[in-house]
Amino acid sequence: MVQYRKMTIDDVPAVHAIELATFPTPWTLESFYYEMTENQFSHYLVAESETGEIIGFCGIWLVIDAAQITNVAVVDSVRGQGIGEGLMREALRIANEANMDVMSLEVRVTNTVAQNLYRKLGFQEGGLRKGYYTDNHEDALVMWVKL
């Protein structure tokens, strides 16, 4: 059974390893430490396996009345098992508890698997950010949901 919990500073190396394995332009280790220690708006969640392994994470910024998903990733070997959905449902719960009005995110236009998950959770398309991704200048689809 997967447990979802608040990320701790001790989780940063495992989360960063997932980030490195998942994204073509990953955040630095220092960025995650900054998020955990300095950024007053950030809230991070992890998905932990029965054996205690970190198998996914999700970052959220809660600013005034809007929640922004910064990154969400799941270990490749357990994708398709609902872990990303669990992380997103926890993020939505946290945003609701913090009285946010909306939640938004950017997703690659080619990442239809993620887009379908977000639509399942009530997100709708809000526009494009042209050339958003620096590795290949792919556009980002902005998606949002009213909370």
Residues forming the active site: 106, 118
> Tokens in use for 132?
């958003």
Is there a contact between 30 and 54 (Cβ–Cβ < 8 Å)?
Answer: no
CA distances from 2 to 68, 69, 82, 108, 117 (A): 24, 21, 10, 27, 18
Q: Please provide residue 44's backbone torsions phi and psi, each rounded to the nearest 5 degrees.
A: -120, 140
